[in-house]
Structure 1
Amino acid sequence: MNKKLSVFIIGLALIIVSCRNSDRAADESIVNDSTRIVSINGTISEILSGIGLENHIVGVDVASTYPKSLLQKPKVGHNRQMAAEGILALKPDWVIGVREEVKGELEDQLKAAGVKVLLFHQEYSIDGTKQLILAVSDSLGLKQKGDSILAKLDQDLTALDSLPANTEKPKVLFIYARGAGTMMVAGENTQPAKIIELADGQNAVSGFQDFKPLTSEALVAANPDVILLFTSGLESLGGPKGLLEVQGVKETNAGKNNKFVEMDGQLLTGFSQRLGQAIKELSEKIR
């Protein structure tokens, strides 16, 4: 064989091997067999489980309810009200959550203890959900597994095209309830408002951001066609009969028609890889 040709072939082979090694390294998990993870956001927990890391999760926040096996994990509290001591007691290597929910003081305490902290921005939209899945899977070196759950999400979203459009978008009021003494309504740019819009409904209230206490006057003025609650919230009121006893409910279209919709909280407002399923279920229930 010509010497120059031989050198060229060897060089080409080295380049190919190098490229393959680079590709493998780019998709090599940074999580090893002994890695311990505490997840402090329900959607993050879903994504971690979806990319094959559930067995590495040693603790979760109270919103981490799916898959149901996560209910057996030790709880470290609500993501906005958790202490570093409870997290550190689980000896995590990583704490993973959503940046907007984690106080700077908590992050500093965890890092000072030698724990790696990964915090991601979450936007409540279809694109935001996809970006979060990509960010989590890429950061942990599991891009291919992230692509796999994204493909399933795209399938679910495409299936929504077969749903008939609502000729008139129903007015939907989301009520966050923890018994009759704690009832809040969801305003603009909240997770419930966003999912209602995606499900081809309209939020029954406007003019304010975040959540505010429910009043009978505002309830009657909003006159929703549908009242939407978490399943746990409706249960805390004693079911549909209890909801009808809330002042003002009977005067609304929803109350007159008993149009009360309940959904699992994490499914409804998590904006996880189950977003397509959530949109479909809500869309069908509010019609």
Structure 2
Amino acid sequence: MLVAVLAVLAAGCNAPGGADSGGVGAVTASIGELDPEPIGPPPSPRLPVTVASEDGAEVTVTSADRIVAVDQYGTLGETVFALGLGGNLVGRDTATDFPAAADIPNVTPGGHSLNAEAILALRPTVVLTDSSIGPHAVQEQIRAAGIPVVFFDGERTLDTTADMIRDVGRTLGVPQAGDALAERTQQQIDQALAAVPERQDPPTIAFLYQRGAAISMLGGPGSGADDIIRAVGGVDAGTASGLTAAYTPVTAEALIVAAPDVILMMSGGLQSVGGVDGLVQMPGIKQTPAGENRRVIDMDDSVLLSYGPSTGKVIGALTDALYGEQSR
């Protein structure tokens, strides 16, 4: 195994740098304004409604006056704002950190773990959540306290984005706003996809989830990043190198085998290791084409994997960062 890794390492050091992905150097992809754009003025929810929760329960929502929206990606919180109900959001997750949500209490202070006491203290009239966050016992505890808890699909792909927006709109009693927002989002996604350059040599892109030196994960199938990478015309390095889990702890050997032309990261993760200068000092990074060329693209944590109303803008910004003038 060691001989094989050394052989790959030597080949990587002598290779010309892999597929052309618009040049070398680090780029921050930006969608501009981070706050979600409401589809219209604040709508008036028509409640009660009974919906089928993703966990199999039938849930009746009687009020959307005090909403808690929590998932790993910030999708639900972003969607509530884009529906025009941001003023009703009283609790959020760590990923919902765009400026307009800054003063809303964060009920996942540890990152991705729910705090039942913190949620109950907010007196929510409905909790929107999914299987990406937990522990599940906390959501059940909140439901047992008499608060409607609605689970949504935990999978994040381009194909499920518009449907989730519609589902959130129906759950909150604003189906027309949900349909309009879903239509706008899908149009923006379609326009962004149409602008991705066609290439015979697609770049291999590795999504690296980093939180300081202690947490370093390489994205694979089902990470959410794999779908975004395919959307911008790239090959997901983790999937292509044989990973089978959504996230796998990073090793130098895994990075060398993945051989990415580009490394994609959340901005907060890149900052947590000291920027690109710190990143290229990590084991295995320098021995990849991306590390050799310092080819790193970062994007704000709140939008990169949100798969919500800003998804079309995310694809457009990543396309520009990846290909530069070739995408125009």
Please tell me the TM-score bracket, short chain as reference: 0.7 to 0.9
Q: What does residue 197 of structure 1 align with?
A: 230
How far off its partner does 1:32 sit?
A: 8.3
- 2:280, 2:111 → 1: CA distance? 32
Return the index of the structure with the highest Cα Rg.
1
Matches within 5 A, 1:218-237: 218-237=254-273
Which of the residues 46, 50, 62 maps onto 1:28? 46
- 1:225, 1:266 → 2: CA distance? 24
- 1:93, 1:267 → 2: CA distance? 26
Aligned residue for 1:176, secondary structure, equals strand
Could you say what the CA RMSD is over the residues aligned between the two structures, in angstroms? 2.0
Taking structure 1 as the reference length, the TM-score comes to: 0.84
Write the letter of the residue equivalent to 2:46: E
Q: What is the CA deviation profile of residues 68-101 of structure 1, one whole-angstrom value per residue up to 9, with x for unaligned ones? A: 2112111111574112111101111111112443
Q: What does residue 39 of structure 2 align with?
A: none
Write the letter of the residue equivalent to 1:261: I
In the alignment, does 2:258 pair up with 1:217? no
* Structure 2 CA distance for partners of 1:98 and 1:86, relative to 1, 3 Å: same
The answer to which structure has the higher helix fraction is: 1
Deviating more after overlay: 124-133 vs 227-236 = 124-133
Q: Which has the higher contact order (CA 8 A, sep 6+)?
A: 2
**Given that residues 64 and 126 in structure 2 are in contact (C-alpha distance below 8 angstroms), is that contact kept between their aligned partners in structure 1?**
no
* Structure 2 CA distance for partners of 1:71 and 1:86, relative to 1, 3 Å: same
Taking structure 2 as the reference length, the TM-score comes to: 0.74
Q: What does residue 100 of structure 2 align with?
A: 69
Which of the residues 38, 50, 54 maps onto 2:68? 38
Query: Could you list the runs of 5+ residues in structure 2 that have no partner in the other structure?
Result: 1-44, 49-60, 324-328
How far off its partner does 1:114 sit?
A: 1.5
Q: What does residue 164 of structure 1 align with?
A: 197
How far off its partner does 1:148 sit?
A: 2.0
Aligned residue for 1:241, secondary structure, equals helix
Q: What is the CA deviation profile of residues 151-201 of structure 1, one whole-angstrom value per residue up to 9, with x for unaligned ones? A: 321331232213322331100111111112321111112111121111111
Work out the number of aligned pairs and report it.
260
Query: Could you list the runs of 5+ residues in structure 1 that have no partner in the other structure?
Result: 1-26
In the alignment, does 2:254 pair up with 1:188? no
Identity of aligned residues (%): 32
Deviating more after overlay: 146-155 vs 165-174 = 146-155
- 2:213, 2:140 → 1: CA distance? 38
Matches within 5 A, 1:199-278: 199-206=232-239, 207=242, 208-278=244-314
**Given that residues 63 and 125 in structure 2 are in contact (C-alpha distance below 8 angstroms), is that contact kept between their aligned partners in structure 1?**
no
Which of the residues 80, 92, 115 maps onto 2:147? 115
Write the letter of the residue equivalent to 1:200: G
Aligned residue for 1:185, secondary structure, equals strand
* Structure 2 CA distance for partners of 1:214 and 1:99, relative to 1, 3 Å: closer
**Given that residues 220 and 226 in structure 2 are in contact (C-alpha distance below 8 angstroms), is that contact kept between their aligned partners in structure 1?**
yes
